[in-house]
A and B are shown apart, each in its own frame.
Chain A
Amino acid sequence: MRQRKTSTLLVQTPEGIVFSLLLAGPVTRFLAWAVDLACVGALASAVGSALALLGLLSPDFARGLAVLAYFVIQIGYGIFLEWFWRGQTIGKRLLRLRVMDAQGLRLQFSQIVMRNLLRFVDMLPAFYLLGGIACLASRRAQRLGDFAANTIVVRNPKIQEPDLDQLLAGKFNSLRDYPHLAARLHQRVSPREASVALQALIRRDELHAQARVELFSEIAAHFRSLVEFPPATTEGITDEQYLRNVLDILFRPQGLERQEILPAEPR
């Protein structure tokens, strides 16, 4: 296991394969907790109303049961849901977070109980101050409960499919006339480089005119240095259009129809 930066945990398997886990920061986790707190409140008031009916028969029994029910909901909410949904509560589901074993192994019931019971210390002195500080200080963004239970909280951001038809080159892409160069482009462009160019295109309207020209000129120059297409194909087109053509080749290979999107959610 190695660490690249605070927001990503890379797990290297003995087979030499590396997979990455995006760590959730304290703010996202606090928001998820706020959602969960609201859920606990709603659940407790629903149970309270149901028990109020029982109060007609025996007020003392109903009150006693309400005290117990609130306690069980407060403690058991996180434990039950994280066990039932393998590491998620309603708040975590909404914010696309998940509790996982810090070594990438199977999450055990005892780990879930431990991290939820140690909340009591993380919440001290108020509003998860201790837990928040621990989370910021920890390499794996762990609060004390996570440290004791050996768990981490990861983010599974939804990959939004950009509308490629709007973004990429139209029907005519002069670069496609050179299939061998297109293949070289595939070979030389790293996923990260392709993603930079795609993001620039997606956010192009947010940039000032001058900055937009400069940015696309820089990115296009980089791609030109990777694979040189004959001047005839790039003459008369802007840097932005050149990038559209490049990404069109990268993201929409000829003859490859849209693949069925595989579920990307780890379970």
Chain B
Amino acid sequence: MIIDLRKFIASERPHWRELESLLDRLSGDSAFKLSLEQLKHFHYLYERTSADLAKITTFASEPETRRYLESLVARAYGEIHETRQKPHRVAPLHWFFNTFPQTFRRHVRAFWLSVAITLVGSVFGAGVIAFDPDAKSVIMPFSHLQGDPRERVAREEKAASDRLSGMKGTFSSYLMTHNTKVSIYTLALGMTWGVGTMLMLFYNGIILGAVAADYLLAGQASFLVGWLLPHGSFEIPAILIAGQAGLVLGGALIGWGSRTSATARLRQISRDLVTLIFGVGIMLVWAGFVEAFLSQYHEPVIPYSAKISFGAVELCLLALFLAKSGSQLTGAELQTRNSNLR
């Protein structure tokens, strides 16, 4: 029971204001760190304001003050009880060369699962085309894939004019946005305990396998590899990584063998998922450029050997990047890792 409300508010308000200004600084400036003394004082202010809130809650006539104190206590609670590291200042290069490949490697088992599902889909798609060529019209997503590969190759190799002339930019943007959307779906469908992600990967595998089998059976292997490898060396791994992220999400929801709650598991992986999907986005931007500006040109404009070599080099560099980049931890990272392990 507060005897003199006016006096109470007047004497406590300076502390509330001080806490509020500290909270403003903490949330506004990510580089701002409290010293030990300041931290103790911050905790004191939080406890004092909490006690004030408990006192004023019983007071019928002060709803605004109560709400104000509730909001202060809620904010301070968020600061004091937060154990996750405060995000660093934006460091895109460090993120790209260290955080992204490290995150990929941390969840590499999900990546291999993603590869396996796609491979099973590819074998299925190839089998369908090999044993039931009539199914082509059902499986192939684009009209230009439904004809005879030999005819397409002959037509494109004879083409005198550049059919993409004046629309390469638009085509490239379309590819980037479309593929990124597919990747986001593949990640987001992880919310179906991973089933949706698996279906997406399997479906992608079917199309890939069907197209490959169709061209290989028609004896157009060099056209196929020259056409798909330059952009596919980034596009396909990107979708596989999106699948990896979706499977990690599904795994966190299921939580096999984990004693922590689903909320805690999701909290643990949320930063990793964002890292993976941003990485996928960057890979798809590159793939979009290559697909519009290089992949659609065939012999005699660009020799297949040059396209295949380019694609193979890309694939090697990507594999090297994902396997090795950022594998030497800096001192600060080692410290973080050790503290996480503890």
List residues of A whose CB falls within 8 A of some B CB.
11, 13-17, 19-21, 58-61, 63-65, 67-68, 71, 75, 86, 101-106, 108-111, 113-114, 117-121, 144, 147-150, 159, 186-187, 189-191, 193-195, 250-253, 255-256, 259, 261-267
22 contacts between A and B (CB under 8 A): A11-B77, A19-B53, A64-B172, A65-B173, A105-B81, A105-B84, A106-B84, A114-B270, A114-B274, A118-B191, A120-B184, A121-B189, A121-B191, A148-B191, A150-B270, A186-B61, A191-B66, A251-B60, A261-B64, A264-B68, A266-B70, A267-B23
Once the chains bind, are A63 and B61 in contact (CB under 8 Å)? no
- Nearest first, the 4 closest Cβ-Cβ pairs linking A and B are A64-B169, A266-B71, A194-B60, A67-B173
Q: Which residues of A contact B50 (CB under 8 A)?
A: 13, 15, 17
List the A residue with the shortest CB-CB distance to B172: A64
Q: Which residues of B contact A110 (CB under 8 A)?
A: 270-271, 273-274
List residues of B whose CB falls within 8 A of some A CB.
1, 5-6, 9, 16, 23-24, 27, 47, 50-51, 53-54, 57-61, 63-68, 70-71, 73-75, 77-79, 81-82, 84, 87, 166-174, 176-177, 180-181, 184-185, 187-189, 191-192, 196, 249, 263, 266-267, 270-271, 273-274, 277
Q: Which residues of A contact B177 (CB under 8 A)?
A: 67-68, 71
Cα distance A189–B61 in the bound complex, in angstroms:
10
Main secondary structure, interface of B, reads helix
Given contacts A159-B64, A266-B75, contact A68 B277 (CB under 8 A): no
Shortest B267–chain A CB gap in Å is 5
Cα distance A21–B171 in the bound complex, in angstroms:
47
Cα distance A267–B273 in the bound complex, in angstroms:
27
Q: Which of A117, A259, A266 contacts B74 (CB 8 A)?
A: A266
Q: Which of B57, B71, B166, B263 contacts A59 (CB 8 A)?
A: B166
Cα distance A64–B170 in the bound complex, in angstroms:
4
Cα distance A68–B288 in the bound complex, in angstroms:
12
Once the chains bind, are B270 and A68 in contact (CB under 8 Å)? no
Once the chains bind, are A101 and B78 in contact (CB under 8 Å)? yes
Once the chains bind, are A13 and B249 in contact (CB under 8 Å)? no
Given contacts A60-B168, A264-B67, contact A13 B58 (CB under 8 A): no
Once the chains bind, are B191 and A187 in contact (CB under 8 Å)? no
List the A residue with the shortest CB-CB distance to B273: A114
Q: Which residues of B contact A267 (CB under 8 A)?
A: 23-24, 27, 71, 75
Shortest A64–chain B CB gap in Å is 3
Once the chains bind, are A20 and B70 in contact (CB under 8 Å)? yes
Shortest A117–chain B CB gap in Å is 5
Q: Which of A105, A117, A250 contacts B188 (CB 8 A)?
A: A117
Once the chains bind, are A104 and B78 in contact (CB under 8 Å)? yes
Once the chains bind, are A64 and B173 in contact (CB under 8 Å)? yes
Once the chains bind, are B77 and A63 in contact (CB under 8 Å)? no
Once the chains bind, are A193 and B60 in contact (CB under 8 Å)? yes
Cα distance A86–B82 in the bound complex, in angstroms:
16
